[in-house]
């Protein structure tokens, strides 16, 4: 009996230790990761909804996620959370540790929370996030929530991973909605104005609605600490999920997500090779960095 067999049995038993170990193997780039991912119950993975929650820093994403977890648990659902954090520039590990902010759920065996580092990627997601979400889904988590790091417009990566993308705003933060018109706001499925009891909330809702005019994109209001609007938001998410499954968009999104994950891993593997190749060159780096980069790629290609 090898470790991978043990891990796979543990995933089927919904053992948090086995699930955590499986995600670590994937995140570390261990060659055994493929064996784990290939044997996941694909039917169970397909049943799960992967929900991306994104937005600028300070909008209250973690509090909103915390309240969604509590709501789903009251419905008897098993929940997975992939919390994408900035990377430490020294260790490469997760910086913020969203598990601390969701501490009340950590003793619940049916709530799996995993902080993962962006490892310097501007898109806000790490290459292993898609695999982590599938492992959680394969263990019976539904939904799986991916909360991104909160670095603003660069968070478009979440759209390629999630079945449903929820973009969160809050009044008084100076977000330029018009500047987002051609960006993330056009790719989100559901828009949320959190802290809806604060001054400027009504004006923010009106501004958002003017930008998305002509799009069938729900705009929800929440006051996360008071759980106001959480049940309504969950209902909108459920309706959106059913609609996407019926019209074929869900299957299309999953295929695109798999393509993006393949590309992410290819870029990650190439980045490591290029970094090692650069380190192996004893000469001092001089000249045009673009030319040096081109030569590095040519050397790797040979």
pLDDT of 301 strictly over 70:
yes
pLDDT digits (tens, 9 = 90+) for 110-146: 999 998 876 555 444 666 888 999 999 999 999 999 9
Q: Which has the closest alpha carbon to 45: 264, 187, 250, 237?
A: 250
Q: What gap in Å lies between CA 230 and CA 64, rounded to an integer? A: 8
* Largest distance between two CA atoms of the chain: 62
Q: What is the pLDDT of residue 167?
A: 92
Q: What is the pLDDT of residue 30?
A: 84
Q: Which residue has the higher pLDDT, 92 or 222?
A: 222
Q: What gap in Å lies between CA 157 and CA 285, rounded to an integer? A: 32
Q: Considering the entire predicted model, what is its pTM?
A: 0.85
pLDDT of 91 strictly over 60:
no
Looking at the DSSP assignment, which residues form a beta bridge with residue 220? 192
CA angle 171, 213, 252 (to 5 degrees): 100
Instruction: For the chain, give the percent of residues with pLDDT over 90.
Output: 46
Which residues, including other chains, have CB under 8 Å from residue 240's CB and lie 6 or more apart? Answer: 164, 189, 190, 218
For the domain bounded by 40-248, which CATH number is listed? 3.40.50.300
pLDDT digits (tens, 9 = 90+) for 227-281: 999 999 999 999 999 999 999 999 999 998 888 888 877 887 788 788 888 888 7
Q: What residue spans define the domains of the chain?
A: 40-248, 259-301
pLDDT (average), residues 155-177: 79
pLDDT (average), residues 151-166: 72
Sheet holding 219-221, edge to edge: 111-117, 79-85, 144-147, 50-55, 164-169, 190-193, 219-221
Q: Which residue has the higher pLDDT, 293 or 237?
A: 237
User: Worst-scoring range by mean pLDDT, 52-66, 80-94, 138-152, 254-268?
Assistant: 80-94
pLDDT of 284 strictly over 70:
no
Q: Which residue has the higher pLDDT, 93 or 204?
A: 204
């Amino acid at each position: 009996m090898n470790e991978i067999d043990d891990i796979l049995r543990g995933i089927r038993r919904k053992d948090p230790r086995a699930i955590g170990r499986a995600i670590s193997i994937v995140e570390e780039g261990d060659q055994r990761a493929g064996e784990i991912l290939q044997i996941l119950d694909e039917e169970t993975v397909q049943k799960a909804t992967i929900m991306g929650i994104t937005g600028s820093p300070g909008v209250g994403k973690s509090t909103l996620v915390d309240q969604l977890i509590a709501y789903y648990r009251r419905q008897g659902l098993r929940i997975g959370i992939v919390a994408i954090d900035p990377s430490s520039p020294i260790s490469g590990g997760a910086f913020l540790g969203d598990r601390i902010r969701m501490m009340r759920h950590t003793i619940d065996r049916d709530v799996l929370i995993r902080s993962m580092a962006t490892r310097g990627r501007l898109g806000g997601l790490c290459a292993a996030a898609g695999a982590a979400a599938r492992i959680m889904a394969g263990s019976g988590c539904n939904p799986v929530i991916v909360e991104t790091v909160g670095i603003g417009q660069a968070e478009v990566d979440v759209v390629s991973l999630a079945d449903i993308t929820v973009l969160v705003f809050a009044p008084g933060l100076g977000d330029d909605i018009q500047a987002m018109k051609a960006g993330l706001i056009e790719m989100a499925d559901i828009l949320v104005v959190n802290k809806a009891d604060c001054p400027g909330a009504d004006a923010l809702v009106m501004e958002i609605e003017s930008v998305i005019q002509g799009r069938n994109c729900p705009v929800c209001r929440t006051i996360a600490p008071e759980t106001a609007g959480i049940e309504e938001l969950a209902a909108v998410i459920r309706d959106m999920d059913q609609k996407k499954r019926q019209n074929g968009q869900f299957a299309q999104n999953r295929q695109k997500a798999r393509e993006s994950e393949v590309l992410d891993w290819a870029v990650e593997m190439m980045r490591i090779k290029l970094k090692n190749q650069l380190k192996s060159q004893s000469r001092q780096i001089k000249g045009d960095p673009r030319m040096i980069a081109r030569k590095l790629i040519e050397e790797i290609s040979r």
